[in-house]
Amino acid sequence: MELQVIWFFIWGLLWAAFFMTDGFDLGVGTLYPFLGSDETDKRKMINAIGPLWDGNEVWLITAGGVTFAAFPLVYATMFSSLYTPLMFILFGLIIRGVSFEFRGLSDSALWKKTWDTCIFVGSFVPALLFGVAFANIFMGLPIDGEGILHGNLFTLLNPYGIMGGVLFVLLFMQHGALWLCIRTEEGLQQKAIQTARMLWPVALSVLAVFVIASWFYTDLYANYLAMPLLFTVPVLAVAAFIGARIFLGKGRYFPAWGMSAAGIVATTFFGIIGLFPNLFPSSLDPAYSLNAMNSASSPLTLTIMLWVVVCLIPLVIAYQAWAYYTFRFKVEKEDFTY
User: How does pLDDT run across 304-320, given as a tens digit for each residue?
Assistant: 999 998 998 899 899 99
Q: Above pLDDT 70, what percent of the chain?
A: 100
Position 334 scores a pLDDT of: 74
Position 327 scores a pLDDT of: 86
Does the pLDDT at position 335 exceed 80?
Answer: no
Position 94 scores a pLDDT of: 94
Burial environment of residue 140 by CB neighbours within 10 A (0 to 12, 13 to 18, 19 or more): buried
Q: What are phi and psi of 115, to 5 degrees?
A: -75, -30
Q: For residue 220, give the 3-state DSSP assignment.
A: coil
Measured CA to CA, the distance from residue 254 to residue 235 in angstroms comes to: 22
Query: pTM for this one?
Result: 0.94
pLDDT grade for 328, boundaries at 50, 70 and 90: confident
Please state, as a whole number, how many other Cβ atoms lie within 10 Å of the Cβ of residue 116: 17
For range 240-267, the mean pLDDT: 96
Position 149 scores a pLDDT of: 85
Position 1 scores a pLDDT of: 65
Does the pLDDT at position 8 exceed 80?
Answer: yes
Nearest partner of 8 among 276, 219, 265, judged by Cα: 276
What confidence tens digit (pLDDT) does each residue in 108-136 have? 999 999 999 999 999 999 999 999 999 99
**Amino acid found at 312:** L
Phi-psi label, residue 147: left if phi above 0, alpha if psi -120 to 50, beta otherwise = left
**Amino acid found at 117:** T
Q: Above pLDDT 90, what percent of the chain?
A: 78
DSSP-derived secondary structure letter, 219: S
User: What integer best gives the mean pLDDT of the chain?
Assistant: 93
What confidence tens digit (pLDDT) does each residue in 157-204 have? 999 999 999 999 999 999 999 999 999 988 999 999 999 999 999 999
CB 141 within 8 A of CB 283: yes
What confidence tens digit (pLDDT) does each residue in 10-51 have? 999 999 999 999 999 999 999 999 998 889 999 999 999 988
Position 2 scores a pLDDT of: 87
Measured CA to CA, the distance from residue 231 to residue 275 in angstroms comes to: 14
The residue ranking higher by pLDDT, 17 or 335, is 17
pLDDT grade for 151, boundaries at 50, 70 and 90: confident
What confidence tens digit (pLDDT) does each residue in 57-99 have? 899 999 999 999 999 999 999 888 888 889 999 999 999 999 9
Does the pLDDT at position 331 exceed 90?
Answer: no
Measured CA to CA, the distance from residue 100 to residue 86 in angstroms comes to: 22
Q: DSSP letter string over 269-333?
A: HHHHHHHTTEEE-BSS-GGG-EETTTS---HHHHHHHHHHHHHHHHHHHHHHHHHHHHT-SPP-G
